Amino acid sequence: MSASPPNRRPLIAGNWKMYKTGAEAAAYIEQLKLLLPSNLEADVALAPSFTALESALMAAGDSPILIAAQNVFWEDEGAYTGEVSVPMLNGLGVEWVIIGHSERRQYFGETDETVNRRVIAALAGGLNPIVCIGETLEQREANQTFQVLTAQLKEGLAEVDNRAAQSLTIAYEPIWAIGTGRTATTEIAQEAHRVIRDELERIFNKELANYIRILYGGSVKPENAAALLAQPDIDGALVGGASLKPDVFYGIINF
Ligand code: 13P
């Protein structure tokens, strides 16, 4: 198991992206529940589409599986066709939400500013945000990675107070490693996670920086999870493709 301090129990989260109907989500979760041991050593979360959240929550029942939304809007209600608000997630009983995924940034115009508005609203409504950051290949090759990550954190977490920050999780997802089969080496991932933790210390304080979990995402598979999670600043994984089948995802949970 991971070398993380006890307050940073590993979190293995599956981001299903635009896969699975409600019925498929429920069937998956029934299978995963059978695989999970009673002495589970990691926190486990799944992020279905909005349309599958309710059946996922019902299937998860009182199992340890946490259910996350993949996005949330910052206004409580109003004329915002197609959006879903914090009170709507609260009403379902959803307690976790992914914010600022690179696919939202790339295809749907998400910026650090809109990420920040979503984070502030989510925290105010008692949700636990998993805030995603990460550099493009061009930025990495131009040696801008650390600058990009610190700017994404500074702007994305602006005005978050120290008390609310306890509910944060950060996910480092280098864009060049998402869905490409090209995982960051453990050294590259650990180095970025260290930079992120140092920036969290500057934004909040040392105690919070040591408390907040930082997940790695980008082609995580059962074969590479243990090495990544053994790094001192990697506290879990945000898994796309390898979370779509319960037995494969369990291979990561049981790293
Ligand atoms: P893959 O695991 O498919 O590379 O996706 C990572 C990701 O984007 C998780 O949010």
Residue 207 designated active-site? no
**CATH number, domain at 39?**
3.20.20.70
Q: Measuring CA to CA, how many Å separate 41 from each of 83, 99, 139, 194, 224?
A: 35, 25, 36, 23, 18
Average pLDDT, the chain: 96
The reply to whether 185 falls in a domain is: yes
Q: What is the pLDDT of residue 207?
A: 96
- Answer yes or no: is 3 within a domain: no
Residues 134/172, Cβ–Cβ less than 8 Å = yes
Please report the pLDDT score of residue 22 as a whole number: 98
Q: Judging by beta carbons within 10 Å of its beta carbon (0-12, 13-18, 19+), is residue 146 exposed, middle or buried?
A: middle
**Does the beta carbon of 49 lie inside 6 Å of ligand 1?**
no
* pLDDT score recorded for residue 183: 82
Ligand 1 in reach of 178 Cβ (< 6 A):
yes
Is 252 a pocket residue for ligand 1 (Cβ < 6 Å)? no
- Known catalytic residue at 135: no
pLDDT of residue 5: 56
Contact criterion met (CB below 8 Å) for 9 and 30: no
pLDDT score for 87: 98
Mean pLDDT of 219-247: 97
Residues 71-84, mean pLDDT to the nearest whole number? 98
Q: Worst-scoring range by mean pLDDT, 69-78, 130-139, 174-183?
A: 174-183
At 41, is the pLDDT very low, low, confident or very high (cuts 50, 70, 90)? very high
Q: Atom 2 of ligand 1 has which residue's CA nearest to it?
A: 240
Q: What's the pTM value of the predicted model, to 2 decimals?
A: 0.97
Q: Is 70 in the pocket of ligand 1 (CB under 6 A)?
A: no
Strand partners, 170: 131, 214
Environment class of 158 (CB within 10 Å of its CB; exposed 0-12, middle 13-18, buried 19+): middle
Residue 2 has pLDDT above 50, yes or no: no
Mean pLDDT of 178-185: 87
Q: Is 50 exceeded by the pLDDT of residue 3?
A: no
Q: Which of 101, 103, 193, 199 is catalytic?
A: 101
47 in contact with ligand 1, CB cutoff 6 A: no
Does position 106 have pLDDT exceeding 50, yes or no? Answer: yes
Is 129:119 a contact under the CB 8 Å cutoff? Answer: yes
Considering the candidates 103, 110, 173, 199, report the single residue annotated as catalytic: 173
What is the pLDDT, as a whole number, of residue 234? 98
* 54 falls within a domain: yes
**Percent of the residues in the chain that have a pLDDT greater than 70, as a whole number:** 97
- Domain containing 144: what range? 14-253
CA of 217, closest atom in ligand 1: 6
The answer as to whether 161 is a domain residue is yes
Asked if residue 220 is part of any domain, the answer here is: yes
Number of domains in the chain: 1
Compute the residue count for the chain. Answer: 255
Q: Is residue 94 part of a domain?
A: yes
Which pLDDT score, from 0 to 100, does residue 6 have?
Answer: 54
Q: Whose CA is nearest to atom 7 of ligand 1?
A: 240
Tell whether 229 is covered by a domain: yes
The pLDDT of residue 140 is: 95
Give domain status of residue 149, yes or no: yes
Q: Supply the pLDDT for residue 184.
A: 86
